Amino acid sequence: MSMGWGDPPVWSDAVVVSNEAAGSGLRAITLEVPPSTVEAHGVGGQYVSLTGTADEKAGFYAIASPPGAPQFEFLIKETDANGHLTGAKAGAPLQCSEVSGKGYQTAAHFGGDAASTDYDGFACMNVLFAAAGSGIAPIRSTIESGICLDLPKPATLYYGARDAAAIAYADKFQRWKVDFNVDVRPCYSRATVPGGYSGYVQDAIKAAGVDVPRNTGACVCGPKEMYEAVKALLTDAGVYDARVLSNF
């Protein structure tokens, strides 16, 4: 059962399996959580609350592993307030809430039935992902859930970071292309790097243009300004407003 925004969290015991550097200021943390919590993760983009003890302030963190994975993986930005998580060693006990959030409702908006009911017969045949910083976590979960496997051409992920050192999951990019039909286009806001776009995610999307906007859907996660800019750009190009999805 998933937790809603207004519900108080029901805590369960979790254990840190691993905690590794995943990019500048980012930690990749894997947790062992109860089977019932694993089973409740059904959609990429969902999240949980994590804390060290009931006395510490909890934070919301998107699940980075795909639905069905036996453990929960997270990509957590290091801050002054979450050192009890980002500094936790393997074997450390944590508290994990029930799974929360609607996630990316791609089945409802990108699926075949959606074209005939809500989108004037325009099937979703082109998928874009837009992420910045640790916002890549719920996007990774969605990509690895396999939603792009039946697309006629690869989906495109625009992934924004300060520079190459701040990119997480670079070791997965080739696998995402081969196994999940997704091409990755890094976008560096403060660096010029071969193979990457120099600028923000929204600028890279604008420069590339949006193919067949009436047949396009998007999943977006990042700072508010980036989300709003990407949504405005896509809808102005002709993408249906309801097909630009957030995970909140």
What pLDDT score does 54 carry?
60
- Average pLDDT of the residues in 122-145: 97
**Structural contact between residues 205 and 233, judged by C-beta atoms closer than 8 angstroms:** yes
User: What is 12-96's CATH number?
Assistant: 2.40.30.10
What pLDDT score does 3 carry?
47
- Average pLDDT of the residues in 41-64: 91
| 97 pLDDT above the threshold of 50 | yes
Average pLDDT over the chain, rounded to an integer = 93
pLDDT tens digit string along 176-232?
A: 999 999 999 999 998 777 777 889 999 999 999 999 999 999 999 999 999 999 999
What pLDDT score does 1 carry?
39
Domain layout of the chain by residue ranges? 12-96, 106-245
What pLDDT score does 193 carry?
73
- Average pLDDT of the residues in 95-122: 91
Is 106-245 a CATH 3.40.50.80 domain?
Answer: yes
